[in-house]
Chains A and B, each alone.
Chain A
């Protein structure tokens, strides 16, 4: 029999239904793998052994009683940004290292309702601020394809856990690319839904108008299963939208198996396939587009002229919101409090200076500055205007095409410590950030490998297993089903998503 941790969600569901294995066995299998492997990958901040087994047992009982749902008993990992009752919810920060949430995020509650078993909480950049996972208080999670490389961020832990088969799938969040970029760096499929599709209640806020939860998994089909559980209107989140949730799995079916993408117009932004894009990444994306063409899609060149404005606008709006969102961490009610404060100002200053990491403090400062009297119009208001232009740019583009394709990131995963200059790291978000500013859905899927980065970087060939490359598809509002279905059909005709980090490569110090 195939290894349990190699099964897709559909296969896990079928196996549980057919009683080939129980949820307790499956959960124990994953917990054992985590205990054995994760110390060298650091994908989990907290592993909830006892809780997981108790939930698995409950799922088995439910199944015995004939009440199991499709996902009952299947394990999942939650990004440590989602509040989980009775379990530490750290957001990757020293500030919340001692925070045991008294309530479940809506996403967590929905997963529980679906019968999913929580294995633990995954590593992340502190308060989701970062693109490499290096900003975690708990240390970076490592890319299982090559542990000298970053897994991407901020949902690096979720990506690593799935890529290393330490969870079948995982929840994640995306404010400027935090689902898609780690999915790309780790060879996974990750979907950032339309803003308002997934509840933000209980999801620790970074930048409220940009944050959106979504799935990271091996395939579009696996993503569809998880999105089905996560999506929906939530009265506790005023920005959640009461748009009906589609049947994402049903949408994967086609009546035209030979040409499943017949009639699909794929827009290619000239600005996305221009300077600054790694030639290997570009080649892999072009290969994937050829496959899509062979499945019936047509390619059209489009322009997204506001592309260059996205990063500056994002790095004003997101920090502005963050500077306010993070004001509640003041050492008064919960979280880190400095020792023996001598007065109120000392309590505030030291609790926040000692509790927040460098990047978080940098963004609080940028955001505070952008909102200050005298600068507000020049920075925040201007950035909001640019945001509107970016949105219009996309809406016009969607008059010419059904989806927009391009690379998810300009390069494959870079080396740990390679981007010490924060601006250099910000520039890596060039293709993902505009999507959040516009509130659109987008998916990243693996389309091959960069096998020559060692030559480009001038490093020793021996320690350089291939690194995954991701393609991004951007869709109009509420087109999650379309995005999943396009990638699903691509994956029916490609094997990149089946490549496994720990089997494909002899990763340093890690064995499956």
Chain B
């Protein structure tokens, strides 16, 4: 499906997303407990996380700084006096019987993010708001002989809930938006974005309408935690709503769950059954005041943002939109590219891009490694490209050097070339000597060539390259062989 807005059986799709993004902090939002994933149940739950009588929350200011960082990253208004509110409901893994969240005065107000669609065009998506809240614990329904276990390690983990406008008109746009957000939060260093561990989860609000009509009734698909499932869940829901309406039915406002096994969404609860959360300002916490100076300090420490950096790559390095987009899919990759480019020299922008996107990412993917764990450093890769550029080695030999680098020994291209004797032969006399030997040993091929069989020429080149152990400069070989044969 194309990423651009399109009608499905005459229906226009309207999508808005709520993303819950876990902020990457050492301790929880209102207690000193650690936030490490995967610890033994309830070993990271303090008196405060357990909501013992008499305990009180104290805001971890680092969480606010990260939220402001995000707000500046989407060009949003920052709430100068944001207020924590209590969202009241009973659930066994919600220890206080309320979740501390933000309602009327969120830390991040209206902003926007630009997404790039598959055809390379971009679209601006409005962000309604982003607010801070604490995560709940986890209910474990297995292994307790008919009872449920409660693990409160996650209770109090800081979350930023990012609410978009209903600006997306296709599944492709929704996925592009989620990807852009995922890139941004990691880019800003405020979240690890780990979807498998639940650090980045998505609620999708989906409705359909005839073009030009008011918004249809929406359904909310809860807690989707992979790009693939977002796409599938929304598609399943669109199909359900179209079938429903075209069959004479009506969509009712509901919260639904996506079942990946059956590829369908199922109703969780309807609006009528929804809780009255009885929000009110939390009297245990003061409003969070943010000064101009704090904002300026955080702004000054912001990295160049993905959209700006991508544009610079296209302009300064003459890279294609595609190359620039891939290289800016994460800050680490863009950093890697520019570091390697510094070493290789500005003229090597395209070759370095090719090496990073092709060989490096391919090899890492094959080795199942993240860029952060890459055995090859930017300096190594840049040095390698430089040696191709100055004809020290051929592109083919470079692959050998790169494979060696991937072993993780840390040697530079020069060291590997030297140690393995891979330096390209460019001495005309030496190449000529090899060519004369090959001509002498392959009279039949030479005759065929002279009889007009061009293919024989390539055979000879192959023999020469083999005899030189690949080190002869291919250009020179071609030129000299032709000269000697035609002489």
Q: Which residues of A contact B (CB under 8 A)?
A: 82-83, 89, 91, 96, 99, 101-103, 105, 200-205, 207-209, 235-239, 320-321, 323-324, 326-328, 330, 332-335, 344, 348, 368, 371-373, 376, 380
Nearest CB in chain B to that of A96: its residue: B53
Number of A-B contacts (CB under 8 A): 99
- Evaluate contact between B53 and A91: CB separation under 8 angstroms: yes
**B198 at the A/B interface (Cβ < 8 Å)?**
no
Q: Which of A201, A207, A321, A326 interacts with B55 by CB under 8 Å?
A: A201
- A selection of 24 A-B contacts at a CB cut-off of 8 Å is A96-B53, A99-B53, A200-B56, A209-B283, A238-B56, A238-B57, A238-B58, A238-B284, A239-B285, A239-B286, A324-B280, A327-B96, A328-B53, A328-B97, A330-B90, A330-B92, A332-B95, A333-B51, A333-B150, A334-B53, A335-B53, A344-B92, A372-B276, A372-B278
**B59 at the A/B interface (Cβ < 8 Å)?**
yes
Interface residues of B, count at CB 8 A: 28
- Evaluate contact between A201 and B86: CB separation under 8 angstroms: no
**B88 at the A/B interface (Cβ < 8 Å)?**
yes
- Evaluate contact between A328 and B57: CB separation under 8 angstroms: no
User: Considering the chains assembled together, what is the distance between the CA atoms of A83 and B51 in angstroms?
Assistant: 13
**B247 at the A/B interface (Cβ < 8 Å)?**
no
Q: Which residues of B contact A (CB under 8 A)?
A: 47, 50-59, 86, 88, 90, 92, 95-98, 150, 276, 278-280, 283-286
User: Considering the chains assembled together, what is the distance between the CA atoms of A348 and B90 in angstroms?
Assistant: 9
Q: How far is the CB of B217 from chain A (nearest CB, A)?
A: 20
Known A238-B59, A238-B284, A321-B283; judge A328-B54 contact (CB<8 A).
Answer: no
Known A239-B284, A321-B283, A372-B278; judge A330-B54 contact (CB<8 A).
Answer: no
User: Considering the chains assembled together, what is the distance between the CA atoms of A116 and B99 in angstroms?
Assistant: 38
User: Considering the chains assembled together, what is the distance between the CA atoms of A208 and B96 in angstroms?
Assistant: 14
Give chain A residues whose Cβ lies under 8 Å from the Cβ of B57: 238
Q: How far is the CB of A503 from chain B (nearest CB, A)?
A: 37
Give chain B residues whose Cβ lies under 8 Å from the Cβ of A320: 280
- Evaluate contact between B97 and A380: CB separation under 8 angstroms: no
- Evaluate contact between B56 and A89: CB separation under 8 angstroms: no
Give chain B residues whose Cβ lies under 8 Å from the Cβ of A328: 51, 53, 95-97
- Evaluate contact between A373 and B95: CB separation under 8 angstroms: no
Give chain B residues whose Cβ lies under 8 Å from the Cβ of A330: 90, 92, 97
Nearest CB in chain A to that of B93: its residue: A332
Q: How far is the CB of A318 from chain B (nearest CB, A)?
A: 11
- Evaluate contact between A101 and B53: CB separation under 8 angstroms: yes
User: Considering the chains assembled together, what is the distance between the CA atoms of A247 and B98 in angstroms?
Assistant: 40
Q: Which of B56, B86, B97 interacts with A237 by CB under 8 Å?
A: B56
Known A239-B284, A371-B88, A372-B278; judge A102-B52 contact (CB<8 A).
Answer: yes
Known A324-B88, A328-B96, A332-B150; judge A376-B56 contact (CB<8 A).
Answer: no
Q: Which of B50, B51, B54, B276 interacts with A203 by CB under 8 Å?
A: B54
Give chain B residues whose Cβ lies under 8 Å from the Cβ of A96: 53
Q: Which of B54, B86, B276, B278 interacts with A83 by CB under 8 Å?
A: B54
Give chain B residues whose Cβ lies under 8 Å from the Cβ of A82: 54
- Evaluate contact between A324 and B97: CB separation under 8 angstroms: yes
With A321-B283, A332-B92, A371-B88 known, 16 other A-B pairs at CB within 8 A are A83-B54, A89-B53, A99-B53, A102-B52, A103-B47, A105-B54, A202-B55, A207-B283, A208-B284, A327-B88, A327-B96, A333-B95, A368-B278, A373-B278, A376-B278, A380-B280
